[in-house]
Every structure is written in structure tokens, then in C-alpha cells.
């Protein structure tokens, strides 16, 4: 799909068989409570519109688009291994998700994140001009 020859990083569509590697990749972020814990079945489901970053055959990043409707999709589960951060891998994965949402003709792609500046640097903003804003309430403890 996309290559960054400088670092030998490749972005490709995710496959169901990648779920265990994705689980291992995201586990440190789950432990830090940066990402939500997902079952292997949930991760397999995310691979439908998910993207893998690889270097030398090793999974170093993942992101996915969860399409809710033609109006709205969510970028989910963005993770890049600690030793591969600051190389542009996250930006490549986000762009793959944006391209996926465009391909599916989804009007809006949102990202719920604690990394606001990163996503703003990728073109996201807190709210669409002249649009409603999302408000949240926690209905159960986060595990």
C-alpha cells in the first residue's frame, strides 16, 4: 500500500491472522491505560478495516477504522512500538485510516484520544466548524 523506503517500513492491510501480533503490540498501552483492552475476537474484527506497519517482517504498528455509518467512522487502536516511535509510522497509519474512510465514502472520521496534538498535526480538530460537539459520560469502571 505505502512504503517508507528510508526505514524499510511498510504499511499494509491487516489480516485476521495478525490479531495475536496486534495484541502483543497494544498490551503495553493497555497496561498504561492508554488503550482499551480488546479480546482477540475484537482485534480480529478491527482487522477488517485495519492497517499494519511492518519493518523486516515485524509488526511495529497498527490502526483501524470502525465504520458506524456513511456519516461517521472512528479511528481506533492506534499503536506504534516504543522503539519505532518518532519515525512517522503513526502518521502513515493515520493516513491509511483517512484513505480507508474516504474509500468507503464516510463523511466524518473521529479519533477519541489523549494525544490531541498528534492528531491535530494529522489534520483532525476538536470539532467540525458549525457542528455539534461530542460529550461523554463514563457508565462503568474502566478495566
Residue 6 has pLDDT above 90, yes or no: no
| DSSP per-residue string spanning the chain | -EEETTTTEEEEE--GGGHHHHHHHHHHHHHTTSS----HHHHHHHGGGEEEEEETTEEEEEEEEEE-SSSEEEEEEEEE-GGGTTSSHHHHHHHHHHHHHHHTT-SEEEE--S-HHHHHHTT--SS-TT---------S---
pLDDT value, residue 129: 64
Reported as a single tens digit per residue, the pLDDT across 106-127 is 999 999 888 888 888 998 887 7
pLDDT value, residue 12: 96
What does the alpha-carbon distance between residue 78 and residue 93 come to, in Å, rounded to a whole number?
8
Question: Which residues touch 90 (CB under 8 Å, ≥6 apart)?
Answer: 61, 63, 78, 80, 118
Residue 65 has pLDDT above 60, yes or no: yes
Query: Average model confidence (pLDDT) for the chain?
Result: 88
Please name which of 95, 75, 71, 84 lies closest in space to residue 8, comparing C-alpha atoms.
Answer: 84
What does the alpha-carbon distance between residue 116 and residue 23 come to, in Å, rounded to a whole number?
24
Phi-psi region of 104 (alpha: psi -120 to 50; beta: other; left: phi over 0): alpha
Amino acid at each position: 500500500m505505502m512504503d517508507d523506503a528510508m526505514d524499510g517500513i511498510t504499511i499494509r492491510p491487516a489480516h485476521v491472522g495478525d490479531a495475536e501480533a496486534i495484541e502483543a503490540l497494544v498490551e503495553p498501552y493497555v497496561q498504561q491505560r492508554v488503550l482499551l483492552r480488546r479480546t482477540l475476537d475484537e482485534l480480529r474484527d478491527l482487522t477488517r478495516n485495519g492497517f499494519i506497519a511492518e519493518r523486516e517482517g515485524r509488526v511495529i504498528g497498527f490502526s483501524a477504522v470502525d465504520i458506524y455509518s456513511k456519516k461517521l467512522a472512528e479511528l481506533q487502536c492506534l499503536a506504534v512500538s516504543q522503539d519505532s516511535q518518532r519515525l512517522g509510522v503513526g502518521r502513515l497509519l493515520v493516513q491509511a485510516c483517512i484513505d480507508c474512510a474516504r474509500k468507503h465514502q464516510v463523511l466524518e472520521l473521529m479519533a477519541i484520544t489523549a494525544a490531541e496534538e498528534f492528531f491535530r498535526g494529522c489534520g483532525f480538530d476538536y470539532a467540525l466548524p458549525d457542528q455539534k460537539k461530542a460529550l461523554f459520560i463514563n457508565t462503568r469502571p474502566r478495566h
